């Protein structure tokens, strides 16, 4: 009887693994994205507050104290629920499309590093356009409303209520505020996260471990993920500053993306484009470490 059950159970697992050959990327991404977001969101909250135009005279320490005094520790997580839904969809499809793109480009290119890079760019542009930019706009709106200057009822922070208020104020186009700049920023960020990670991963397994089937430890996945995410963060921070300003520009101060760059430079200097970088790096390394570690562990279950 035990042998029959073992054989039957083994066949079921084999069938599941075969059917999940590509879906494992989707499932792993769906779990890794929210896990990473939850772990680093307080840093994302403060980073966004620093970049908001009404807070340009406040230091990070003042903003932290102000947030804590107004809402306590939970204040640093306001707006998180509005981003989780988009995060789940975005990251699951990012990895799924990355895997699918690799299969397509593998027919035309022989260089695995090139295939990883191109595949990550294509998947990032698609998922940023559909999920990333709307989620980011809703995040900035939520954080702007949670500013201690604004006293809102807690019920106003529910996903449905926030979307209803956001849509009423900005319409459907509000979800795509700062469109080109936002897609550029998030596409660079996401493509670096995925592309550089898998290129590092390929190099590490092929040249260091000399075994492409080697299963990385938690530490190895965390370090590779942290490094790849940090590189992308440093490169796209100026775009991130402009994107935050555009997304929070409900008074129509900026007439275009170019005008936003010009006004920031003229009024605050070149240093303004580094605003929030320290918090982005602080949250990116551990965030990406968790992101890729969770992804690898879930993927390896299939």
* % pLDDT > 70, the chain: 88
Whether the predicted pLDDT of 158 surpasses 80: no
Q: Mean pLDDT across the stretch 283-289?
A: 86
CA–CA dist 292, 36 (Å, integer): 9
Q: How far apart are CA 37 and CA 54, in angstroms?
A: 25
pLDDT of 5 higher than 60: no
CA pair distance 90, 189, nearest whole angstrom: 13
Candidate from 114-123, 173-182, 257-266 with smallest mean pLDDT: 173-182
pLDDT confidence of residue 146: 63
Long-range contacts of 1-5 (CB under 8 A, 24+ apart): none
| Strands in the chain per DSSP E | none
Q: Which residues contact 252 (CB under 8 A, 6 or more apart)?
A: none
Alpha-carbon distance of 218 to 297, in angstroms, equals: 8
The single residue listed with the structure tokens 């306001």 is 78
Q: Is 177 left (phi over 0), alpha (psi -120 to 50) or beta?
A: beta
CA distance 207 to 118: 22
Residues 215-237, mean pLDDT to the nearest whole number: 87
Task: Check residues 103 and 144 and name the one with the higher pLDDT.
Answer: 103
* The domain over range 2-299 is classified in CATH as 3.40.630.30: no
> DSSP string of 144-205?
HHHSTTS---GGGGSHHHHHHHHHHHH-GGGGGTTHHHHHHHHHHHHHIIIIIHHHHHHHII
Give, as one character, the DSSP assignment of residue 252: -
Task: Give the model confidence (pLDDT) of 239-250 as tens digits.
Answer: 888 888 887 787
Q: Is the pLDDT confidence value at 9 over 50?
A: no
- Domain boundaries, given as residue ranges, for the chain: 2-299
Predicted structure pTM score: 0.73
Instruction: Give the chain's mean pLDDT.
Output: 82
* DSSP 8-state secondary structure symbol assigned to residue 251: T
- List for the chain the helix, strand, coil content (%; round to 5): 80, 0, 20
211 contacts 172 by C-beta, under 8 angstroms: no
């Amino acid at each position: 009887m035990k042998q029959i059950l073992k054989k039957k159970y083994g066949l079921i697992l084999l069938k599941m693994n075969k059917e999940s050959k590509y879906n494992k990327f989707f499932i792993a991404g769906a779990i890794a994205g929210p896990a990473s977001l939850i772990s680093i969101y307080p840093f994302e909250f403060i980073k966004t507050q620093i970049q908001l135009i009404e807070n340009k005279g406040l230091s990070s320490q003042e903003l932290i104290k102000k947030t804590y005094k107004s809402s306590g520790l939970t204040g640093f997580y306001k707006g998180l629920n509005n981003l989780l839904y988009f995060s789940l969809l975005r990251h699951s499809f990012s990895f799924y499309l990355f895997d699918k793109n690799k299969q397509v480009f593998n027919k035309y290119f022989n260089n695995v590093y090139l295939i990883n890079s191109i595949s990550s760019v294509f998947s990032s542009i698609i998922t940023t356009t559909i999920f990333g930019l709307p989620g980011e706009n809703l995040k900035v709106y939520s954080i702007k409303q949670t500013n201690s200057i604004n006293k809102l009822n807690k019920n106003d922070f529910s996903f449905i209520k926030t979307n209803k208020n956001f849509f009423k104020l900005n319409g459907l186009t509000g979800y795509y505020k700062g469109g080109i700049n936002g897609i550029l920023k998030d596409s660079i960020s996401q493509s670096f996260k995925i592309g550089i990670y898998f290129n590092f991963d390929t190099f590490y397994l092929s040249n260091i471990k000399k075994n492409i089937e080697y299963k990385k430890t938690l530490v190895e996945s965390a370090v590779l993920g942290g490094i790849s995410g940090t590189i992308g963060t440093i490169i796209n921070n100026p775009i991130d500053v402009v994107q935050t300003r555009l997304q929070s520009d409900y008074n129509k101060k900026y007439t275009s993306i170019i005008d936003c760059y010009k006004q920031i430079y003229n009024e605050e200097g070149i240093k303004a484009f580094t605003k929030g970088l320290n918090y982005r790096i602080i949250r990116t390394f551990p965030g990406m470490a968790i992101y890729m570690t969770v992804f690898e562990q879930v993927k390896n279950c299939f």
